[in-house]
Amino acid sequence: MPVRVVDTSLPSQASASDADVEHKSPPACTLLGVGQAFSGTQNVSSPQKDEAWRVNVRIQGFDLEHGYLCGTMEALNVPMADTPVVTFWEGEIVDTKNYTFFTNKWKATSEVDIQHWTKFPSFSPLLDQVEVDGGKSLNLSNYPYIFMRWKEQYFVNVGTDCGLTIAGFYYVCFSCTDGSVNGFYYDPNSSPFQKLELQSAQEKDTGFSFSSYALQ
Amino acid sequence: MPSSAIPSSWSYNRPEHLISRLRSAGEARIKALRELKNQIIGNRTKKLTYIKLGAVPFVVEILCSAAFDISGDVNTVLVQSCAVLGSFACGVDAGVKAVLEAGAFQHLMLLISHRNEKVVDAAARALRMIYQSKLAPKYDFVHTKNIEFILSLLNRTNENVTGLGASIITQSCRTKMEQRALSDAGALKKLVSLLRGSLSQRDASLESLASLIKDNPVVISKFVGPESGRALSAVTELTKDRYPRTRLLACMCLIVVNSSSPTSLQGAGIKMKLITILLELMDDPGEVGDEAGFALSSFISESEDLQKLAFEANVADKLCDHLQNCLLQIRRYQGILLALAGLSSKLECCRSKIFTHKAFNLMIDALNHERSEIRVAACLCLKSLSRSVQHLSAGHFMTEIIIVPLIQLLCDTSTSVQVAALGAISNIVVDFAMHKSVFIKCGGVKQLVQLSKSMDSTIRVNAVWALRNLLFLVDQTCKEGIFSELTATTLSSLICDPKTSVQEQALGLVRNLVDGPVDSIEYIFLEDRLLLHAIGRRLLSSSNTEVLIQGMYVLCNVASGNEFHKEAVMHQLLMQADPDALSIVVKFLQNNDSQLRIAAVWALVNLTSPSSPGAFGRVVRLRNAGVVQQLKTMVTDPCLDVKLRVRTALVQSMTFDDGVVMV
């Protein structure tokens, strides 16, 4: 017997009973856990040239309590680079506790924030509340999308003189449903709205596999 | 030929001669006792010499016989004997041992009730020296009579007697029951009142209060409550005392309050003050400075908020600076290392600060220190620092300069060093920078495998933990090397280990072993499916959720492989503990723990993937076993992750319904 599958998960505004912030944070998702990999492209087109770099991402750390995650990003066909360029990035999870939709740093005003977040269709139901308080009072605990900011911190395998910049950061939307990642790079000195599109990447095409570590 | 002339005074003062003079009577004996006292006061070497020559039993004999003597100047003899015994016991454990073995304790206790106040004072002073040591006899607080005796000591006017009462509590009060009994009998109130006494009474009272309230929220609430007057403010006030030792003891008392009742220390102000006072006290060149590091470590180690405050107070830099200047003072060295370990246990900003300081190299040097307590403290520092994913990602720890000494410590004669080294190694081998081969080349795997067979379960669990982390995202060559050292037989016995913590880590290890390319899954089928059978048995019999989660992820990862692998998992999932029981997969899907439900559903997602040729047959079997029906009840699971995976599994299962592809 077929089961009707209806997505009823809309974010709600936190009521008084939602005072416990634990319940307002986005849910943990196995596809965004440590060891998980993603692959796809980043569009770096300029008015002069259409260009996209192949990109691989690996999650290395995930701490929902602190709204923190981190990992590496590998750009594969970067012009003028002999090898793939790997960067280490740290992410802020918009959990309404540690971080809201307003960045308040990295040269991003709330207008810039809204401009970028609204590029994600899944953000539309949140827009009104975010304009009021940055989304502080939203309950994201059952929302199947996780919003984040990823900021590259350092180059792992090339020097800072490689002719590339990591001055900007990514507005990111992760889909818990299929593990896809969409992002927009923001750097006032770079082409606007460079799009990052990644899919959950499994080593085998026959199924999903999960490794784990635990720090002492 | 020249001959050596021995001066008569030297001969007269020889220890042996002085001991023989203790046998004289009257004034000569008193003189000998005084001389002995003067020689040993503050002189550890002399104390040890006289202890070796058997002086202590002589003095105890004098004390004992004088206690029954009513002639002559017996009180002076008693006072001097007590003083000598107190000196022997002061600051030297061998002295305390000798005094106790000679049977002095009972006699000294009896003298507390002597009619002469000077004798009482001398006996109390000697007993206090004994109670400064951990070798002091455990006082029995179970009997009401004994508690009454302690109260009677605290109620006396003599400073040494009240100090003795406080010291007995400090050394002997350990259990919650003892704390409660003493507190109910009035000891808490009396000790609080002694905070207004002399310097010695204040210090003794602060130390005693810390023992009386430690880890006991009930007694702490009495201490901070109105019935104790303004006890908390009085202690807080003493953190500003002119004497460093009093300041330290007041801080330690407040730290004890904070650890069980953080809300009692209102606001960040007082907490910040405690941090700055302890930092200042580290400048003290003596024992107070030595102990300040330990106090700071116990204050901040478990609390992220306190570590934040410590970071703001620039504690990282100051501790690093102290570290460079204390290498010859063992106790201080250890305290500072522990404070650094505590400071960097939770916060990345603290770790980065320490990592870039030149003192970081001193921590690595400390791994080779001759004293085991320093080696342990250095390992704890590295363990805290290596919690930094950022630095693990940069490969900062996987260098021979750090790895080689750590691996050597795995063979240390001290178990606590081995455990501490394993803790640091467990974190370091996570190493995202793909330098895991450095650890293998340095012989680390061989040592870890050896320790995974230890009789000591703490060592065993930590060794397996390190191997599990080492296998996280490791390349195939390294994986092969690790497995050939470890063997399926050892792994199988670790999965069946009597300790669930070992089972959990062993299953986590296998989970990582079978992750990655499809070939990796074959490990589990070696030696006639040895590992697969061990895991199956564990999943059937264990009731520990963490063990089940790791075991279920192993099966999920195996189910991500080819048809042969998927069929093997099907067999395991549909096993039942007995014919009437639920299959393990249904049992896990019904479990209260969402992590276990997720692992089980992921395995089903892998088994029902429509792209695999045998999926249809498996769906039929899962349906017949009631698994699909169970999944249908979970479409509104409270955990979003479970709910989403259940939908995927159901959609995949429905793909085969009547040959109609559902979208």
Answer for the pair B52, B5: CB distance below 8 angstroms, yes or no: no
Task: Give A186's strand partners.
Answer: A169
Check if A88 contacts B (Cβ < 8 Å).
yes
DSSP states of B108-174: HHHHTT-S-HHHHHHHHHHHHHHTTSTTSPPP--SSHHHHHHHHHHHTSS-HHHHHHHHHHHHHH--
H or E segment and range at residue B609: none
Q: Which residues of B touch A203 (CB under 8 A)?
A: 515-517
CA distance A119 to A183: 9
CA distance A184 to A118: 11
pLDDT at residue B50 above 60?
Answer: yes
DSSP states of B285-339: SSHHHHHHHHHHHHHHTT-HHHHHHHHHTTHHHHHHHHHHT-TT-HHHHHHHHHH
**What share of chain A in percent tops pLDDT 90?**
69
pLDDT value for B24:
78
Question: Using the beta-carbon criterion (under 8 Å), do A206 and B387 form an inter-chain contact?
Answer: no
Pick from B469, B553, B560: CB nearest A213:
B469
CA distance B30 to B22: 8
Q: How far is A131 from chain B (nearest CA, A)?
A: 26
Q: Which pLDDT band holds residue B434 (cuts at 50, 70, 90)?
A: confident
**Lowest-pLDDT range of A47-51, A205-209, B47-51, B427-431:** A47-51
Q: How far is A35 from chain B (nearest CA, A)?
A: 7
Q: Which pLDDT band holds residue B28 (cuts at 50, 70, 90)?
A: confident
Interface of B with A in 10-29 (CB under 8 A): none
pLDDT at residue B35 above 80?
Answer: yes
Q: pLDDT tens-digit profile of B184-215?
A: 999 999 999 999 999 999 999 999 999 999 99
Answer for the pair B19, B55: CB distance below 8 angstroms, yes or no: yes
pLDDT value for A16:
43
Q: What is the complex's ipTM, to 2 decimals?
A: 0.89
Residue of A nearest to B513 (CA): A211
Check if A9 contacts B (Cβ < 8 Å).
yes
Check if B512 contacts A (Cβ < 8 Å).
yes
Q: pLDDT tens-digit profile of B632-652?
A: 999 999 999 999 999 999 999
Model pTM? 0.88
Residue of B nearest to A215 (CA): B427
Answer for the pair B339, B323: CB distance below 8 angstroms, yes or no: no
CA distance A132 to B366: 54
CA distances from B247 to B145, B237, B274 (A): 34, 9, 10
Q: pLDDT tens-digit profile of A10-66?
A: 666 654 444 444 558 888 899 999 999 999 999 887 767 778 889 999 999 999 999
For residues B386-413, one letter each, b for 16 or more C-beta atoms within 10 angstroms of the residue's C-beta and e for the rest, the string is: bbbbbbbbbbbbbeeebbbbbbebbebe
Residue B560 tokens read as 């991500």
The type of residue at B513 is L
Closest CA relative to residue B169, chosen from B200, B128, B199? B128
Answer for the pair B558, B567: CB distance below 8 angstroms, yes or no: no
Check if B401 contacts A (Cβ < 8 Å).
no
Residue B297 tokens read as 């470590």
Question: Using the beta-carbon criterion (under 8 Å), do B606 and A210 form an inter-chain contact?
Answer: no
